[in-house]
Amino acid sequence: MIKKSTFKSGYLPYLLILPQILITLTFFYWPAVQGLRQSFFLSDPFGQSSKFVWFYNYIELFTDPLYLKSIMITVTFSIAVATVSITLGLFIATMANRALRATALVRTLLIWPYAVAPAISGILWLFLLHPSYGIVALAIDKWLGVEWNPVLYGRDAMIMITMASSWKQISYNFVFFMAGLQAIPKSLIEAAAIDGASSFKRFWAITFPLLTPTFFFLSVMNIIYSFFETFGVIHTVTQGGPGGSTNILVYKVYQDGFVGLNLGSSAAQSVVLMSLIILITFLQFRYVEKKVQYTG
Q: Closer to another protein at the Cβ: 59 or 99?
A: 59
Q: Please report whether residue 56 would count as binding another protein according to CB under 8 A.
A: yes
Coil, strand or helix at 55: coil
The single residue among 216, 244, 277, 292 that binds another protein, judged by CB under 8 A, is 244
Antiparallel, parallel or unpaired: β 50-52 and 41-43 = antiparallel
The distance of closest approach from Cβ of residue 272 to another protein in the complex, given in angstroms and rounded to an integer, is 17
Q: Which region among 51-59, 70-78, 114-122, 177-185 touches another protein (by CB under 8 A)? A: 51-59
Select from 36, 60, 83, 88 the one that contacts another protein (CB under 8 A): 60
Smallest distance, another protein to C-beta of residue 179, A? 40
Contact call for residue 62 and another protein (CB under 8 A): no
DSSP states of 269-291 as a string? HHHHHHHHHHHHHHHIIIIIGGG
Binding span for another protein by CB under 8 A among 6-14, 129-137, 175-183, 283-291: 129-137
- The neighbour count for residue 216, using CB atoms within 10 Å, is 17
Q: Interface with another protein includes 14 (CB under 8 A)?
A: no
Determine, following the binding rule CB under 8 A, whether residue 10 of this chain makes contact with another protein: no
**Would you count residue 242 as binding another protein (CB under 8 A)?**
yes
**Contact between 47 and another protein per CB under 8 A:** yes
91 near another protein (CB under 8 A): no
DSSP letter string, 124-161 = HHHHHH-TTT-HHHHHIIIII-----TTT-HHHHHHHH
Please count the residues of this chain forming the interface with another protein, following the rule CB under 8 A: 37
Helices 263-283 and 30-38, axial angle in degrees (round to 10): 120
Q: Which residue from 178, 184, 182 is spatially nearest to 106, judged by alpha carbons?
A: 178
Query: Is 17 an interacting residue with respect to another protein (CB under 8 A)?
Result: no
User: Stretches 79-87, 218-226, 261-269, 271-279: which one binds another protein (CB under 8 A)?
Assistant: 261-269
Residue 251 Cβ, how far from another protein at the closest point, in Å? 11
CB atoms within 10 A of CB 175: 16
Contact between 258 and another protein per CB under 8 A: yes
Residue 276 engages another protein in binding (rule: CB under 8 A): no
Radius of gyration from C-alpha coordinates of the chain: 24
How far apart, in whole angstroms, are the C-alpha atoms of residue 231 and residue 228? Answer: 6
Contact between 188 and 110 under an 8 Å Cβ cutoff? The reply is no
130 is an interface residue for another protein by CB under 8 A: yes
Tell me: does residue 127 bind another protein (CB under 8 A).
no
> Could you tell me the CA-to-CA distances from 208 to 90, 96, 139, 146, 212 in Å, in that order?
10, 16, 39, 38, 7
Could you give the string, one character per residue 139-178, with x where binding to another protein holds by CB under 8 A and - elsewhere?
Answer: ------------xxxx------------------------
Q: Is residue 23 near another protein by the rule CB under 8 A? A: no
Shortest approach of another protein to residue 238 CB, angstroms? 10
Phi, psi of 221 (to 5 degrees): -65, -40
Q: Which of 142, 137, 132 is nearest to 156 (CA)?
A: 137
Are the C-beta atoms of residues 63 and 270 closer than 8 Å to each other? no
Binding site for another protein (CB under 8 A): 42-49, 51, 53, 56, 60, 64, 66, 130-133, 151-154, 239-244, 255-256, 258-262, 264-265
